[in-house]
Amino acid sequence: SHYTVTILVINYFSELTGTCEPQLTVDLRRPSGPYSRVFQHRRKCHSLVDHFGFDVNLTFKQRYLVANQYWKKENGVILFYTGNEGDITWFCKNTGFMWDVAEELKAMLVFAEHRYYGESLPFGNLSFTDSKHLNYLTSEQALADFAILIESLKKNIPGARNSPVIAIGGSYGGMLAAWFRMKYPHIVIGALAASAPIWQFMDLVPCGKSGPNCSETIQSSWKAIDRLTSTGEGVQWISEAFHLCNPLRSQTDIIVLKSWLAETWVNLAMVDYPYSSDFLMPLPAWPIKEVCKYLTDPNESDKVLIQNLSQAVNIYYNYSGEANCLNTSQTATSNLGIQGWSYQACTEMVMPICTTGISDMFEPQEWDFAAYSDQCFLEWGVRPRPLWIPTVFGGKNISSHSNIIFSNGALDPWYAGGVNENITDNLVSIVIPDGAHHLDLRARNIDDPQSVLFARAKEVEYMKKWIEQFNGHH
């Protein structure tokens, strides 16, 4: 049962103008699927570009989606997706969990787009031109957008004023959900932070990387590539073997090829879902198993090994069979905002990654912050501040907060950066042994493993408890 949502109405928002009254309620039910949706239509209006300074008083259009079909004003809830680094409609499509629990929780669903992604570009086409235009792309600004959006929704939607709100997000969106509860506990009564590596900063956790299990062949492949690319003929042969759109021309191209391959293996582990899916790429069920079928013998000759590797890579990049050639500049869906994320990684979101070649299947590479910083300065004209996120969001010292669920899948390469033990009774961890990257946020599926069903049931149980607590106080 492939899960799709057609987003029919795009909503924009403003606090300052006060003109964002609900205009129309458009009922658009999807006739064929199990999930009918109602999107509430709102006028396009504007949000502040800079919440933390008063000199720049510009505004921008922020997009969000609202579905209120199952919402009950009495003892209902608003489930608020804290949008991350991509098109919000794509996250909406890939967060079926919220739709699945909407009726049970009498929930209004809101999906808020993160500034600088999707259609929420503060300076339109100029948003990524330089560090001046990018200056307002931070997690703190995004959280402030969310806070003001929620206040506005509660003011403007009749009956919403006293509705509790729960933040939900996955990956960076999961970090935002957790951080939102930490910084704005007066606005959200709790948060579900799915696959949120909030500790993949500084030296809070080891920087090591993980990936698929059939690692010996991959481990052997780097040297095989080196040997083959030592001759001009070999370089040409490899370009053809991988069906590259742009044949390798320089030593830099070979480095790019290798990091593209490494990222491919990590991405595959992230989306190792138990059923056919289309998140980063269209893929079969348990894609790692499919990929590993081609990677059984690490002792093949270089050319045979690379040919096998190419077939494995094709599972990820060309499962649909529609690609004529592969492009090493792309590793996932274009719904992800790679420019925005590259900037964020060069400023606040400094998440150290390293490889040993021994405990993992990658070429050995230390975490070299100086080189990283220089690269960021070259690319974006900014220097990263690796200490800032732990300073502002608490690092490992977060026990004074409450009502946050940290869920993590053990198959997910980001697992190790997450919170995988209960911190307090109200700051809890749910580990999903058979789960990849935020599997729990995906729509229910007949092939879901028991462990994710259990995780989702626990998550709903916690959310109900928070709602009850909230209603008890009001």
Residues 14-53 that bind its own copies (CB under 8 A): 15-16, 51-53
Do the bridges between strand 38-42 and strand 22-27 make them parallel or antiparallel, or are there none, so unpaired? antiparallel
Do the bridges between strand 47-48 and strand 59-60 make them parallel or antiparallel, or are there none, so unpaired? antiparallel
Among residues 388, 406, 414, 466, which is the contact residue for its own copies, using CB under 8 A?
Answer: 388
Residues paired with residue 25 on neighbouring β-strands, in sequence order = 40
Among residues 57, 246, 296, 422, which is the contact residue for its own copies, using CB under 8 A?
Answer: 57
Identity of residue 458: K
Q: Cβ(335)–Cβ(374) under 8 Å? A: no
Q: Which helix (H) or strand (E) holds 303?
A: helix 302-317
Q: Considering Cα of 434, then 424, then 199, then 340, what sign does the dihedral take?
A: positive
| Options 145, 278, 302, 412, the catalytic residue | 412
List, as one string, the DSSP characters of 219-254.
Answer: HHHHHHHHHHTTSHHHHHHHHHHTTBSS---SHHHH
- 387 near its own copies, rule: CB under 8 A: yes
In the complex with its own copies, which residue's Cβ is closer, 394 or 449?
A: 394
Rounded to the nearest whole angstrom, what is the least distance from the CB of residue 373 to its own copies in the complex? 12
| Options 152, 437, 438, 440, the catalytic residue | 437
Residues 143-162 that bind its own copies (CB under 8 A): 144, 147-148, 151
Identity of residue 103: E
Binding region for its own copies (CB under 8 A) out of 110-118, 139-147, 277-285, 451-459:
139-147
In the complex with its own copies, which residue's Cβ is closer, 287 or 352?
A: 352
Residues 260-319 that bind its own copies (CB under 8 A): none
For residue 301, the tally of other CB atoms under 10 A from its CB is 9
Binding region for its own copies (CB under 8 A) out of 181-189, 206-214, 444-452, 458-466:
181-189
Among residues 36, 135, 219, 307, which is the contact residue for its own copies, using CB under 8 A?
Answer: 135
In the complex with its own copies, which residue's Cβ is closer, 414 or 466?
A: 466
Binding region for its own copies (CB under 8 A) out of 129-137, 249-257, 273-281, 328-336:
129-137
- Measured at the CA of 244, the angle between CA 243 and CA 250, to 5 degrees, comes to 135
- Secondary structure (3-state) at 48: strand
- Specify whether 412 is catalytic: yes
Q: Which residues contact 421 (CB under 8 A, 6 or more apart)?
A: 429
| Options 14, 127, 152, 171, the catalytic residue | 171
The DSSP code for 167 is E
Burial state string for 177-188 with b = 16 or more CB within 10 A and e = fewer than 16: bbbbbbbbeebb
- Specify whether 276 is catalytic: no
- 397 near its own copies, rule: CB under 8 A: yes
In the complex with its own copies, which residue's Cβ is closer, 129 or 213?
A: 129
Do the bridges between strand 107-112 and strand 77-82 make them parallel or antiparallel, or are there none, so unpaired? parallel
- Specify whether 447 is catalytic: no
Among residues 2, 249, 383, 465, which is the contact residue for its own copies, using CB under 8 A?
Answer: 383
- Which residues of the chain form contacts with its own copies (CB under 8 A)? 15-16, 51-57, 131-132, 134-136, 138, 140-141, 144, 147-148, 151, 183-187, 347-348, 381-383, 385, 387-388, 391-392, 394-395, 397-402, 473
Which residues are catalytically annotated? 171, 412, 437
